[in-house]
Amino acid sequence: MRRLVLGSASDYLERHTRCSLLVLPRPAAGRLRRQSAASAGTVTDVSDRNLNADDGNAASAALTGDSIRIVLADDHAVVRAGLRLLLDSESDFEVVAEASDVDSARRYVRGHHPMVLVLDLNMPGGSSLEAIPVLRQESPDTQIVVLTMQQEPAFAREALGAGAIGYVLKEAADDELVEAVRRAAVGESYLNPRLGARIASEPPPGPPDDLSEREVDVLRLIALGHTNAEIAQQLYLSVRTVETHRSHIQQKLGLSSRADLVGYALERGLIAR
């Protein structure tokens, strides 16, 4: 029978420790564990002090506790999980809360006072577009980055006009969201480059008969046969807001029936014949 000859215990421990040091991975920057102070929510503990010099300002922020605090609002749990993974990969980012509807987004922003709110346009509990000016009024120090699938320039114009500082398409989130959040945290705007080019090349047409751009959108959808609820869903508005727009359109144009509105839209080229 073969006998396995072992060295001394100290030799074994030395070899085992040396091998362990070779295979243990360095903690990822995005896995830094933070302990938030109950009131201020600042970073009080950073487990990895050996950040690369290339991390620049992010490393400095992580070590000093000046993290970029973020509230993430999207109604799809799977999407939120992916976005959080992306944001957590940045050592100086701290996602302090996740919201699945407009009301909880407002509540978390008021409670956590984040530097940045990442806001999906299409969520339950009210219109995200209508909530933007309310959020800015309630929490003026929180910048809003809109994250959406909507590629139409009209939505970007309205979101930015309402008070958002960034507009990122979900299809480009992997490449653009981190930069948009960083810019927002220091008060700089961000717009998806491709969408920005479209906005520059397609200036908004002058609305007819003193109708606002949003009223033209509502009128077009009315003329196409959509109900108020369908219009609200497509334009990310509340049904009550659509009803208000419809009333204003009828007053401005002096028209009362849907047939009259369809005829007007055809005459002005708002819909195809």
Is domain 29-201 classified as CATH 2.40.110.10?
no
Q: Convert the pLDDT of each residue in 70-79 to its tens digit.
A: 999 999 999 9
> Average per-residue pLDDT in the chain?
77
Average pLDDT of the residues in 38-42: 35
Q: What is the location of CATH 1.10.10.10 in the chain?
A: 208-267
pLDDT over 70 for what percent of the chain?
73
48 compared with 162, residue with greater pLDDT = 162
Whether pLDDT at 5 is above 50: no
Taking the C-alpha atoms of residue 174 and residue 171, their distance in angstroms, rounded to an integer, is 8
What residues have CB less than 8 Å from 88, skipping those under 6 apart? Answer: 30, 31, 95
Q: What is the location of CATH 3.40.50.2300 in the chain?
A: 29-201
Whether pLDDT at 29 is above 80: no
pLDDT-derived band of residue 256, with 50, 70 and 90 as boundaries?
confident
What's the CATH fold of domain 208-267? Arc Repressor Mutant, subunit A (1.10.10)
Taking the C-alpha atoms of residue 142 and residue 164, their distance in angstroms, rounded to an integer, is 10
Whether pLDDT at 25 is above 60: no
96 close to 84: Cβ distance less than 8 angstroms: no
Whether pLDDT at 188 is above 60: yes
Which residue from 224, 225, 208 is spatially nearest to 216, judged by alpha carbons? 208
Average pLDDT of the residues in 76-99: 95
Q: What is the pLDDT of residue 36?
A: 38
231 compared with 66, residue with greater pLDDT = 231
